[in-house]
Amino acid sequence: MKFYVCIKQVPDVNAPIQIKEGELIQDTSRMILNAYDASAVEEALVLAEQHGGEVEVVSVGPSKVSETIRKALAMGADKAVHIQTSSDDEYDSATYADILAAYFKDKEYDVISCGKQSQDTDAGLAGSMLAEKLDLPYATNAVGLDIEDQKLVVKRQGDAGQEIIGLPTPCLVTCSNDMNDPRIPSLKGIMQSKKKPLETVELSELGIDESNLSSKTHVTGYQEKPEREAGKKYEGEPEEIAKQVAKLLDEEENVI
């Protein structure tokens, strides 16, 4: 089977972050593989090991993204594609979906997988948008994957519990980081990653004029979370405390 995994390079959420005059200031030298995408890579590798197949990763971004792509190759992916942009500007989910759809439109595959969201924006929209543009059956927020009778069996976390969905291939799935613990690349894997195929594709080769790309959503500014007011503490007998809380909710907060 042919597995494609879409990955993204994101800022390390553990790096220091400051907000100054409405601007987000972060350490751009600490860029990592998005955790949700790492789980998608791991699951594709496990399926390929169990059922046979090839895993190829695809990423969109400037030249520095190649460092993160090599991380996925060191984990065990067979090959990679870097759709290179000249700008460091972040695109929104719709723009990433447009670019990826242009790349996949003439490719053959069984499964495309993505992280359910990226750590930098938490939008969680690119995978679903890509599935719509490619007219693929898809499932979101997967916490487990398997292959049965050439179908992808998806265990997904729904609002009311876990659901089991069978998807005919080709299909697309977005993966939760609760799915697995991604493997840490070994020294051997790191050395082998330097020899694995890494194809660079320019946007013009996909029929896309980069100067015409623009996000449909824009961040107007950042601000610190407001401090929460101190909670109220009640003392006394449980029955009396319950009456006081009920009165507070009814009269003061207009909750019930």
**223 located within any domain:** no
CATH number for the domain including 26? Answer: 3.40.50.620
**231 located within any domain:** no
**pLDDT at residue 120 above 70?**
yes
**247 located within any domain:** no
Residues 256, 252: Cα–Cα separation, whole Å: 10
- Total structural domains within the chain: 1
Per-residue pLDDT tens for 141-183? 999 999 998 899 999 998 888 999 999 999 999 999 999 999 9
**226 located within any domain:** no
| More confident site: 130 or 232 | 130
Q: Are 109 and 44 in contact (CB under 8 A)?
A: no
Q: What pLDDT does 256 receive?
A: 55
pTM across the whole model: 0.84
**pLDDT at residue 134 above 80?**
yes
Q: What pLDDT does 234 receive?
A: 83
CB within 8 Å of 15: residues ≥ 6 apart: 26, 27, 30
**245 located within any domain:** no
**51 located within any domain:** yes
Instruction: Give the mean pLDDT of 106-111.
Output: 96
pLDDT band at 254 (very low <50, low <70, confident <90, very high): low
pLDDT band at 220 (very low <50, low <70, confident <90, very high): confident
**187 located within any domain:** yes
Average predicted confidence (pLDDT) for the chain? 90
Which helix (H) or strand (E) segment holds residue 90: the answer is none
Per-residue pLDDT tens for 55-102? 999 999 999 999 999 999 999 999 999 999 987 677 899 999 999 999
Q: What pLDDT does 25 receive?
A: 73
Single-letter residue type at 11:
P
179: its two tokens: 């799915």
Per-residue pLDDT tens for 20-63? 777 777 666 788 999 999 999 999 999 999 999 999 999 999 99
Q: Are 98 and 91 in contact (CB under 8 A)?
A: no
Q: Provide the 10 A C-beta neighbour count for residue 173.
A: 27
Q: What pLDDT does 139 receive?
A: 96
Q: What pLDDT does 91 receive?
A: 87
**78 located within any domain:** yes
What is the domain range of residue 7? Answer: 2-212
Lowest mean pLDDT among 103-112, 113-122, 152-161, 242-251: 242-251
Q: What pLDDT does 27 receive?
A: 66
Per-residue pLDDT tens for 222-239? 887 888 888 878 888 888
